[in-house]
Amino acid sequence: MEQVTATKRRPRLLIIGAALVCAVTVGTWWVIGSGVLSSGTITPAQLQGKWVGAGGASLDFTADGKFCAEKFPVQQDLKDRVTTCGTWELPPAGNGADQSVDLYFDKPSLAMTSQLMAAGEGGKDGLYVSWNPDDLSQRFDLKREG
């Protein structure tokens, strides 16, 4: 019986490694393309209107880039809530993640960037404040009023 040498094993390992890389790439492409991990995106027209959450919280977005917040939590403990207005922006949507909505509060002077997110295409699954991007159970949800 012939002994298998390292030089004979190397091509076989390279082929197996290449096959695994291809399988992972195709699998990832299929999952993302199939919508299993679809990201949330929202347009300014879809964002307009009132969104409500627990404890009487609300955000009301207008077409001219302004918003008003009522009892809106700005800290994870939900005790620190603000009732104020400000401006909003939609930064370019990234790949594979929900789109953020940046909020710039007038009073108190405060910015929340990359924390308010649109869930699902057109925000169909609502908006949420992400306190910890590594743990989505730690978030504050808002749904479209109506």
- The whole model's pTM is what? 0.69
User: Which of 39-48, 60-69, 89-98, 135-144 is the least confident region?
Assistant: 89-98
**What is the arithmetic mean of pLDDT over 109-124?**
87
| Residues 134 and 92 grouped into a single domain | yes
pLDDT reported for residue 28: 44
One domain, residues 111 and 132: yes
In this predicted structure, what is the pLDDT of residue 25?
Answer: 52
- Are 61 and 126 members of one domain? yes
Q: Tell me, yes or no, whether 14 and 72 share the same domain.
A: no
Four-residue CA torsion sign, 18, 22, 23, 25: positive
Kindly state whether residues 88 and 130 are assigned to the same domain.
yes
Q: CATH code at 102? A: 2.40.128
Maximum average pLDDT range among 8-17, 19-28, 77-86, 90-99: 77-86
CA distance 135 to 146: 29
User: Are 121 and 69 in the same domain?
Assistant: yes
CA atoms of 90 and 110, how far apart (whole Å): 17
In angstroms, what CA-CA distances link 67 with 23, 41, 95?
46, 19, 26
Owning domain of residue 12 = 1-37
Report the pLDDT averaged over residues 93-114: 82
Query: What percent of the chain has pLDDT above 90?
Result: 42
The answer on 30 and 51 residing in a single domain is no
Residue 116: exposure state from Cβ atoms within 10 A (0-12, 13-18, ≥19): buried
* Average pLDDT value for the chain: 80
**Predicted pLDDT at 10:** 67
Residues 19 and 88 in one domain: no
Nearby residues of 87 by Cβ (< 8 Å), 6 or more positions away: 65, 66, 67, 103, 104
Instruction: Say if CB 40 and CB 136 are below 8 A apart.
Output: no
If asked whether residues 80 and 108 sit together in one domain, one would say yes
Average pLDDT over residues 66-90: 91
Q: How many domains does the chain have?
A: 2
